[in-house]
């Protein structure tokens, strides 16, 4: 069903893969040193594009784009990943299986680490295991929360949604923003990116402690949180702090989940929001807090919570004997009730989401997950829903997206509080959002300000 990989992206992937082989032997440069190396040629590329092609037309703007949520408009610069409607996401040209093969894992594990994905997104290069480990060590050093943020989180009511708590906690971290302080001192534009990088690394480093504290506060009233283990990677510590550190399979799943959800080009609502807010030179904490608020919508990241809620309701109604026919009936009931089927459809993808495929492959590789009724229901639903959605006739993409699968493994391993699931997505999506913030400042991108029209003004424009 998958279209052949485009020549350009397979060429990029082969060349990154070849270079990865060389670099593994050679480079011990830090992330910042690597960025100092890769930023100048990109700045030159942007200058060239502006000078030579500033007026080249690459698409039309139709009225349907304007009234259809800007769907299909080629209107943003985003370096780290590009989404193909059929084959899905590529990170600097690398597909998900490429990344699984090439990106370093943690000692004793098989899944790529968040640090190695962050390195790839930021630099376009595959890190050596030493570089990935060195970035882990750097993040561990930066990972403690300010005491006032801990107290602030502890004071919030348990009934406040975990995503609201995450967004408020991230916004509060701006108390110590290096970018904001430097801006107030009066730095020059070419220096913006280094202070932005400083904030971005601090943000990524502190997210596990922040997100785990929210989980423990809401769902485990004893408030005990594991201390940071300096030998572990970012996700190893996150899993520990959540209380799942003794479950190696769960920790590996979290590594895969967090690497895969890291970036999905620029136009998705969370990434775009963080980019838009960042374009005003609001610091990375405020920018990403805004992105998290977009992620908390049920048509976007919150869908992973909705999938489990919907699936539980289906299980309750159907009972123990689940067949394709009664799943089909439940799907029709949902659609006829005027609701969307969570975990299906997509703004850009027109094929099953390769992230959904990768997460289900993980489940298929472990016997205890294969036997899980929750995971079996996800698989059975994915066998039935596309035909129902095609017959329903509205959805442009009747196939499962990542949210259809992401929660079921968490649920099986005992993280059953599904209102928390989007927080894990929020820990992950920071990887792509902060990468763009660093690059937007390094490239000197301007404040975002598209032109809008009223319907009357649009009609006038059409007549003219």
Ligand X SMILES: CC(=O)SCCNC(=O)CCNC(=O)[C@H](O)C(C)(C)COP(=O)(O)OP(=O)(O)OC[C@H]1O[C@@H](n2cnc3c(N)ncnc32)[C@H](O)[C@@H]1OP(=O)(O)O
Ligand Y SMILES: O=C([O-])CC(=O)C(=O)O
Nearer to ligand Y, 227 or 450 (CB): 450
Q: How far is the CB of 270 from ligand Y (least distance, A)?
A: 6
Nearer to ligand X, 99 or 294 (CB): 294
Q: How far is the CB of 226 from ligand Y (least distance, A)?
A: 29
Nearer to ligand Y, 32 or 350 (CB): 350
Size of the site for ligand X (CB under 6 A): 20
Residues numbered 291 to 310 that lie near ligand X (CB under 6 A) are 299-301, 303
| 187 touches, from ligand Y, ligand X, none (C-beta below 5 to 8 Å by class) | none
Nearer to ligand X, 226 or 312 (CB): 312
Binding site for ligand Y (CB under 6 A): 264, 268, 347-348, 401
Q: Of residues 92, 300, 353, 412, which has the active-site annotation?
A: 300
Measured over the CA atoms of residue 363, residue 368, residue 370 and residue 372, the dihedral's sign is negative
Q: Of residues 263, 346, 353, 412, which has the active-site annotation?
A: 346
Judged by CB under 6 A, does residue 343 bind ligand X? Answer: yes
Q: How far is the CB of 274 from ligand X (least distance, A)?
A: 14
Q: Looking at 58-66, 357-365, 399-407, 451-459, which segment touches ligand X (CB under 6 A)?
A: 399-407
Q: How far is the CB of 268 from ligand Y (least distance, A)?
A: 3
What are the CA-CA distances from residue 206 to residues 125, 235, 257, 278, 285 (Å)?
24, 12, 18, 19, 11
Nearer to ligand X, 156 or 340 (CB): 340
Q: How far is the CB of 276 from ligand Y (least distance, A)?
A: 15
Q: How far is the CB of 286 from ligand X (least distance, A)?
A: 22
- What is the DSSP-derived secondary structure letter of residue 230? T
CA atoms of 379 and 404, how far apart (whole Å) = 9
CA atoms of 18 and 368, how far apart (whole Å) = 37
Q: Of residues 84, 283, 353, 403, which has the active-site annotation?
A: 403
Q: How far is the CB of 361 from ligand X (least distance, A)?
A: 18
Nearer to ligand Y, 97 or 146 (CB): 97
| 345 touches, from ligand X, ligand Y, none (C-beta below 5 to 8 Å by class) | ligand X
Measured over the CA atoms of residue 19, residue 22, residue 25 and residue 30, the dihedral's sign is negative
CA atoms of 198 and 192, how far apart (whole Å) = 10
| 396 touches, from ligand Y, ligand X, none (C-beta below 5 to 8 Å by class) | ligand X
- Spell out the alpha helix ranges (H) of 31-128: 31-53, 63-67, 96-102, 114-123
| 322 touches, from ligand X, ligand Y, none (C-beta below 5 to 8 Å by class) | none
**Which residue of the chain is nearest ligand X when measured via CB?**
345
Does 346 qualify as catalytic in the annotation? yes
- What is the CA angle 133-291-363, rounded to 5? 55
Q: Structure tokens of 129? A: 């295991």
CA atoms of 382 and 344, how far apart (whole Å) = 9
CB atoms within 10 A of CB 86: 13
CB atoms within 10 A of CB 341: 23
Residues numbered 235 to 274 that lie near ligand X (CB under 6 A) are none
- Binder among 347, 352, 426, 432 for ligand X (CB under 6 A): 347
CA atoms of 119 and 442, how far apart (whole Å) = 16
- Spell out the alpha helix ranges (H) of 296-402: 303-318, 324-336, 354-364, 367-370, 373-392
Token pair 């909705």 in the structure block, residue: 306
Nearer to ligand Y, 197 or 302 (CB): 302
Judged by CB under 6 A, does residue 342 bind ligand X? Answer: yes
- Binder among 253, 330, 344, 421 for ligand X (CB under 6 A): 344
Q: Which residues contact 344 (CB under 8 A, 6 or more apart)?
A: 385, 386, 389, 395, 397, 398, 399, 400, 401, 404
Q: Structure tokens of 120? A: 């790839």
Residues lying near ligand X in the complex (CB under 6 A) are found at 299-301, 303, 335, 340-347, 394-397, 401-403
Catalytic residues: 300, 346, 403
């Amino acid at each position: 069903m998958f279209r052949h990989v485009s020549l350009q992206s397979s060429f990029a992937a082969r060349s990154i893969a070849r270079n990865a082989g060389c670099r593994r032997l050679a480079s011990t440069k830090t992330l910042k040193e690597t960025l100092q190396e890769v930023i100048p040629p990109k700045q030159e590329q942007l200058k060239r594009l502006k000078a030579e092609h500033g007026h080249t037309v690459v698409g039309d703007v139709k009225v349907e784009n304007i009234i259809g949520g800007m769907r299909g408009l080629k209107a943003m610069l985003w370096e780290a990943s590009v989404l193909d409607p059929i084959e899905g996401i590529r990170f600097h040209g690398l597909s998900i299986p490429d990344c699984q093969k090439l990106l370093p894992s943690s000692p004793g594990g098989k899944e790529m680490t968040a640090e190695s994905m962050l390195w790839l997104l930021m630099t376009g290069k595959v890190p050596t295991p030493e570089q990935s480990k060195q970035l882990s060590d750097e993040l561990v050093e930066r990972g403690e929360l300010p005491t006032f943020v801990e107290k602030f989180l502890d004071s919030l009511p348990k009934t406040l949604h975990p995503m609201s708590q995450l967004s408020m906690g991230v916004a509060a971290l701006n108390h110590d923003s290096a970018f904001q302080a430097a801006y107030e001192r009066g730095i020059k534009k070419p220096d913006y990116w280094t202070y932005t990088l400083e904030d971005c690394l601090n943000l990524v480093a502190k997210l596990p402690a922040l997100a785990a504290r929210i989980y423990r506060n809401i769902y485990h009233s004893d408030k005990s949180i594991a201390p940071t283990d300096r030998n572990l990677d970012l996700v190893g510590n996150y899993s520990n702090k959540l209380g799942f550190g003794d479950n190696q399979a769960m920790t590996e799943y979290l590594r895969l989940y967090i690497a895969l959800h890291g970036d999905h080009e620029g136009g998705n609502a969370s990434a775009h929001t963080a980019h838009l807010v960042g374009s005003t030179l609001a610091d990375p904490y405020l920018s990403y807090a805004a992105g998290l608020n977009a992620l908390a919508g049920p048509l976007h990241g919150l869908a992973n919570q909705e999938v489990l809620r919907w699936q539980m309701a289906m299980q309750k109604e159907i009972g123990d004997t689940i067949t394709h026919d009664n799943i089909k009936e439940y799907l029709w009931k949902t659609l006829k009730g005027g609701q969307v089927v969570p975990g299906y459809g997509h703004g850009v993808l027109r094929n099953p989401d390769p992230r959904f495929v990768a997460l289900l492959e993980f489940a298929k590789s472990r016997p205890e997950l294969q036997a899980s009724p929750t995971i079996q229901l996800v698989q059975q639903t994915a066998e039935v829903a596309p035909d129902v959605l095609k017959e329903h006739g509205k959805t442009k993409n009747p196939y499962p997206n990542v949210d259809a699968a992401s929660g079921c493994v968490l649920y099986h391993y005992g993280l059953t509080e599904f209102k928390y699931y989007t927080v894990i997505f929020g820990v992950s999506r920071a990887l792509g959002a902060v990468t763009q913030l660093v690059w937007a400042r390094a490239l000197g991108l301007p404040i975002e300000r598209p032109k809008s029209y009223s319907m009357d003004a649009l009609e006038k424009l059409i007549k003219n």
